[in-house]
Amino acid sequence: MSVLISGCFGFIAKHIIHDLLDQKYKIIGTVRSQEEREKLYKQFGNNSNLTLEIVEDIRKEHAFDDVFKKHSQEIKYVLHTASPYDLETTKFTEELYKPAVFGTRAILNAIEKYGSDTVERFVHTSSYAAIMDFETERVEGTVYTENSWNPDNWDQAQECASRAYNGSKVLAEKEVWNFVKEKEGKVKFKVTTINPGYVLGPQTFDEDISKKLNTSCEIINKLIHTDPSSEINPSEIYGCFVNVLDVSKAHILAFQRDELIGKRLLMSEGRFSTQDVLDVLNEDFSVLKGKIPIGYPGTGAMHHNIGATVDNSETHRLLNFKFKSFKETIDETAEQILRVENRQ
Ligand code: NDP
């Protein structure tokens, strides 16, 4: 039996593929183009346990039908990671809402049509964005848990790209929970959602280091390439983080462990701000000395949290493994970038 993973060319998905192949799972993955397919086959050494199918655009109503029609008897677990994390778009409905919400609907409908008896588990890559409230994120005393919900509807989410992205994620996650409630008895699968904060860490392959990285890792990449004289806002980024290797592990445990059924896993190993990233880069990489801004060392969110906090003790209890630290995570990310750029 196989694991179906959507969005296989993504930052998080590649780690999941890597870890699942290590555990000898068979994977049916979706990518957007023939070019992505060929590149991914090559990156994973033409592993015979990896089969890739093309799903060009998850916004289309029947986007996943062909894949499920073709492989319906093989697919036991579904990991739906595909969704745009793009904070530069101005077309919020086209580029954020539709792929997130319609894409989720499309994969759920395809399972109902072609895999209602075979698919047992559905793991949805949601986000901390579906948990936090844009209005209270920087209000001291706010505490988010696995039971917190971003209260925005799509109208309220129009303020900026970040808020729209958060809105797209909460509305997509609601599609999932509503679907299983409505279809009780009609589909067999059980749901777990993964709700990570900023997912940081190395790319699965060194060759994926490029001038611009995926949205979350670009936070670190951008700072590594910022001139020391530039004005930076030390709390431009303010949120919680988790290492990508831990996020990959959680996706896999989510379908392996029964106690994770019906749970939202709020993955955070603490809060950070731009300043905290600068502090680790300046402390741990001598090659960056004098090459990047210093800011105001020791004043970041790790030392002086100015807003919401996260209580994810339930997630830690359920997952029962130690998450990687901030320093380890920034070090791993920066080390790879600098190595690829021959700047060590
Ligand atoms: P990436 O941008 O690296 O991956 C997103 C994937 O979704 C890509 O493979 C992309 O394909 C695919 N995709 C986007 N739009 C479409 C579309 N219209 N049709 C088909 N495929 C599409 O991001 P991440 O790996 O960081 O994100 C993966 C998931 O994790 C997303 O659901 C994101 O919301 C969630 N997440 C990410 C966090 C982070 O900090 N990185 C934090 C919390 C949640 P292509 O590359 O070809 O465009």
Task: Indicate which CATH number applies to the domain containing 6.
Answer: 3.40.50.720
Asked, for residue 151, whether it belongs to a domain, the answer is yes
* pLDDT surpassing 90 at residue 344: no
* 102 found inside a domain: yes
- pLDDT over threshold 90, residue 72: no
How many domains is the chain built from?
1
**Could you give the ipTM of this predicted complex?**
0.99
pLDDT of 90 over the 90 cut:
yes
User: In the annotation, is 169 catalytic?
Assistant: yes
Residue 285 domain flag: no
Mean model confidence pLDDT for the chain: 97
Ligand 1 center to residue 41 CA distance, Å? 19
Query: What is the average per-residue pLDDT within 71-81?
Result: 96
Measure 239 CA to ligand 1 centroid, in angstroms.
Answer: 19
pLDDT at 111 over 90: yes
pLDDT 10s digits, 301-321:
999 888 999 999 999 999 999
Q: Is the CB of 32 under 6 A from ligand 1?
A: yes
Q: 81 in ligand 1 pocket by Cβ < 6 Å? A: yes
- Judge whether 71 lies within some domain: yes
Residue 323 lies in a domain: no
**pLDDT one-digit tens code per residue, 131-185:** 999 999 989 999 999 999 999 999 999 999 999 999 999 999 999 999 999 999 9
Length of the chain: 344
Model confidence at 340, pLDDT cuts 50, 70, 90, reads very high
Residue 124 within any structural domain of the chain? yes
Domain assignment of residue 27, yes or no: yes
268 near 196, Cβ under 8 Å? yes
125 lines ligand 1 (CB under 6 A): yes
Intra-chain end-to-end CA distance of the chain, in Å: 44
CA distances from 267 to 4, 88, 117, 198, 323 (A): 22, 25, 31, 9, 9
Structure confidence at residue 333 (pLDDT): 98
pLDDT of 228 over the 90 cut? yes
Domain range spanning residue 45?
2-200+242-268
Ligand 1: distance of its center to the CA of 81 in Å? 6
Mutate to test the pocket of ligand 1, among 8, 11, 131 (most ligand atoms within 8 A of CB): 11
Examine residue 311 and state whether it is found in any structural domain, yes or no.
no
Active-site residue, from 14, 76, 98, 169: 169
Cα distance between residue 283 and residue 306, in whole Å: 23
